[in-house]
Amino acid sequence: MINSSLKQLGAMLAGKQISSVELTQEFLKRIDLHNADINAYITVDAEKSLAQAAAADRRIAEGKAEALTGIPVAQKDIFVARGWRTTCGSRMLENFIGPYDADIIERFDAAGAVNLGKTNMDEFAMGSSNETSYYGAVKNPWDRTRVPGGSSGGSAAAVAARLCAAATGTDTGGSIRQPASLCGLSGLKPTYGLVSRYGMIAFASSLDQAGPMAKSCEDMALMMNVMTGFDERDSTSLQREREDYTRGLQQFEGREKPLAGLRVGLPKEYFAEGLDASVAKVVQQAIDEYRKLGAEIVDISLPNTQLSIPVYYVLAPAEASSNLSRYDGVRYGHRAAQYDDLMDMYCKTRAEGFGAEVKRRILIGTYVLSAGYYDAYYLKAQQIRRLIAEDFARAFRQCDIILGPTAPSTAFRAGEKADDPVAMYLQDIYTIAVNLAGLPGMSIPAGFAEVDGKQLPVGLQVIGNYFDEARMLNAGHAYQQVTDWHQRMPEGI
């Protein structure tokens, strides 16, 4: 049951083979059993979850069920939820109780899904390993000595360890796709503006985007049907016709070449120096599978790929320095216990409330926005951001989707890169450009690489043009019909 797809769980609930209360209890038992070790959840409230499950059972009995009604889903602790503790992985919000629901929470509630709890994350979504959380590092279920990736590492670990049926995440520079790759699951970062950011605690507003994390593309399609839609409370929310992302998932099944006519671009920059040989081998095998499925392979170039890291680490910290200025101890959140005057209260509150990585990014952002440096750093980074978007525009004139590695390596050991921020930042070399351009991207399981005698997951990144999520999901689903990497579970789980 714990390895069943969302569609299968929905059929079991509709057929009265199991109730939502029973299904929720099963996942809560698994959380009790494994969370102390993996640390995937920050907050679990069984009473609230079971009340939602009971309401879902009544809805199913009345014949008013939707696709996700009664299914337990974990929510990243970056989404404000009424009555739930919402910490964003920080001491600054340690005791903050949400007074309202984020748009994404409202949508899952309206669909009848059950909120299992709030998952662990890098503090204020700043990190690539889930080691910056005030609530402790998350462990990778495939190897407890290694990181799950970040910042959505808690959601990724929860799905991989089957501590939920699916989860939500956010992606500012790869924070859905990179942990999905390192934990062996599927994760999608939608087109910027497709999912409302209302009630999502901001890191970098022009880059942040929420998305689904699940076992398969089919599961993610069902979640996208719930998550997307215009929200007038979010000024960046796009007003466009709603889509059914499950459309076409089955239309190619049974055909000898289900992806015939699909042009797949391979950027030469994604297969150059810096990519681990064992990861490259797995990704190449996945590309060969796409060729067997009938796809046409096209060589392309994204020449400004190497500039995406420096551009991101100018723009994202600049936006963070502005967004995080609200955490001053005055209105909500942590406040220093002792201080002399208002300025001392500000300084001590922020010194105590923020972790080292958050402070580092605030300082970088304040510096690049300061007088004398704005033109040299921030403005220049915005100009290069446009060049990166133009690279993708040219590429999509040659191909329909782009394939490549999600991360340059498999999961690395906890603490291995903690003292080297640049090495940590380079983990997002293949994902950041997608956010800078506002494009959709996803990671799907592509196999395993042997590292120190352990089999560790490798992710295949699929990048699409704007609003091309349905085509991406179709291509991923076709691949998952002929492979079983997405069904593999860690040992001992």
Confirm whether 76 is a catalytic residue.
yes
The whole-number average pLDDT for the span 81-95 is 98
Q: Which of 133, 151, 181, 308 is catalytic?
A: 151
pLDDT category at 252 given cuts 50, 70, 90 is: low
pLDDT category at 131 given cuts 50, 70, 90 is: very high
Confirm whether 175 is a catalytic residue.
yes
Residue 257's Cα: distance from chain center in Å? 31
Q: Which of 175, 181, 186, 321 is catalytic?
A: 175
Cis peptide before 370 (omega within 30 of 0): no
pLDDT at 411: 97
The per-residue pLDDT for range 341-390, each reduced to its tens digit, is 999 999 999 999 999 999 999 999 999 999 889 999 999 999 999 999 99
pLDDT at 421: 87
Amino acid at 151: S
β-partners of residue 431 are: none
The whole-number average pLDDT for the span 125-151 is 97
Q: Report the alpha-carbon distance of residue 87 to residue 117 in Å, rounded.
A: 12
Q: Which of 49, 76, 181, 417 is catalytic?
A: 76
Confirm whether 206 is a catalytic residue.
no
The per-residue pLDDT for range 263-283, each reduced to its tens digit, is 999 999 999 999 999 999 999
pLDDT category at 142 given cuts 50, 70, 90 is: very high
pLDDT at 253 over 80: no
Residue 190 DSSP symbol: P
DSSP labels, 105-152: HHHHHHHT-EEEEEE--SGGG--SSS---TT-PPPBTTBTTB---SSS
The whole-number average pLDDT for the span 439-464 is 97
